């Protein structure tokens, strides 16, 4: 038994030594960066309609990243690869953020929106097991179950408050989960600079048309709008998605997705400190369960 334990320790140590700095530092940095996007979004939708805000975010981020990619002469996807990258971008960008930020615009708290998105690891694990052949251990499934229970508990008293908002969160969750697995299967080798730029540029016109049809495009406070947009472009769009796409290139989709279990707790703390959004006891209990779920899944 002692020999087995020592062998396991050596294999674990070797695995850790073999991980790149991005794989080690990337997940915690990603959690902070991704969580801040919900707070920036909650601020931005007070100054402009949510879809208009998303259109501006995608357009500015796409043009900026495309210019950078052209400057460094990064390879662009072509043909079938280009189509796959665009489909992934429409799912992960347009569907996910169009739905989530509309829910924020309807008054759903940032912590609750992030908590529904926290089910992403469960959905991705189910999809990845069937389409990518990724294995999931029993302990990971137990962690996923705890995380899912935390989400259900946290939104239980919010459904009556905004049933449409909760449904929109579910649509956003589907866009992120399906898009992540699609990208891992069909566009895993894309260059993260040009591929991310293509995703933004594919999502921008779709969201722009929907904004013109469904909203009255206007900005009530240009200072707030500009500040929120700058943060979402530089930090949440370019920074977060370059990091996410890099992690997806180097790790299993189900493993990368476990970091989303942590974003609800971090988002709730940010929203409490910066926006003054309180959390009721059920939401706090849900956050605790979600945290326990990610710890269990990560240890597995």
pLDDT tens, per residue, the chain with 300 residues: 444 445 545 544 444 445 566 556 667 788 888 888 888 988 999 999 999 999 999 999 999 999 999 999 999 999 999 999 999 999 999 999 999 989 988 888 777 787 777 777 778 777 877 776 767 777 777 877 887 777 677 666 655 557 788 889 899 999 999 998 899 889 888 898 999 999 999 999 999 999 999 998 899 999 999 999 999 999 988 888 888 777 777 666 666 666 777 777 777 778 877 877 766 677 777 778 777 776 676 665
Is residue 38, in this structure, part of any structural domain at all? no
Supply the pLDDT for residue 8. Answer: 45
Is residue 84, in this structure, part of any structural domain at all? yes
Supply the pLDDT for residue 99. Answer: 94
Supply the pLDDT for residue 65. Answer: 92
Is residue 1, in this structure, part of any structural domain at all? no
Is residue 116, in this structure, part of any structural domain at all? yes
Supply the pLDDT for residue 88. Answer: 95
Distance of CA 14 to the CA centre of its chain: 30
- Total domains in the fold of the chain: 1
Is residue 30, in this structure, part of any structural domain at all? no
Q: Is the pTM of this model over 0.95?
A: no
Q: How far apart are CA 268 and CA 278, in angstroms?
A: 8
Asked if residues 207 and 98 have their Cβ atoms less than 8 Å apart, the reply is yes
Is residue 255, in this structure, part of any structural domain at all? yes
Query: What's phi and psi for 98, nearest 5 deg?
Result: -60, -40
Supply the pLDDT for residue 117. Answer: 78
The terminus-to-terminus CA distance of the chain in angstroms comes to 20
Length of the chain measured in residues: 300
Domain that holds residue 170: 49-299
């Amino acid at each position: 038994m002692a020999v087995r334990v020592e062998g396991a320790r050596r294999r674990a140590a070797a695995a850790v030594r073999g991980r790149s700095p991005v794989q080690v530092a990337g997940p915690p940095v990603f959690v902070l960066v991704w969580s801040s996007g919900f707070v920036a979004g909650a601020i931005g939708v007070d100054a402009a309609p949510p879809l208009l805000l998303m259109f501006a975010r995608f357009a500015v981020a796409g043009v900026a990243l495309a210019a950078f990619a052209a400057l460094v002469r990064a390879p662009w996807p072509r043909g079938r690869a280009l189509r796959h990258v665009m489909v992934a971008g429409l799912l992960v960008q347009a569907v996910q953020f169009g739905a989530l930020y509309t829910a924020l615009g309807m008054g759903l708290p940032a912590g609750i929106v992030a908590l529904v998105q926290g089910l992403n690891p469960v959905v991705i694990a189910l999809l990845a097991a069937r389409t990518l052949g990724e294995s999931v251990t029993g302990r990971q499934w137990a962690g996923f179950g705890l995380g899912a229970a935390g989400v259900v508990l946290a939104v239980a008293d919010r459904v009556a408050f905004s049933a449409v908002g909760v449904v929109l969160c579910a649509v956003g969750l589907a866009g992120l989960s399906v898009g992540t697995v699609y990208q891992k299967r069909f566009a895993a080798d894309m260059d993260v600079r040009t591929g991310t730029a293509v995703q933004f540029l594919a999502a921008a016109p779709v969201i722009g048309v929907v904004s013109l049809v469904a909203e009255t495009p206007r900005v009530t406070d240009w200072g707030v709008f500009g500040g929120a947009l700058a943060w979402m472009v530089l930090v949440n769009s370019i920074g977060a998605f370059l990091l996410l796409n890099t992690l997806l290139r180097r790790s299993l989709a189900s493993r990368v997705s476990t970091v989303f279990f942590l974003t609800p707790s971090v988002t709730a703390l940010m929203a409490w400190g910066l926006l003054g959004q309180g959390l009721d006891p059920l939401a706090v209990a849900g956050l605790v369960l979600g945290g326990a779920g990610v710890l269990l899944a990560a240890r597995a």
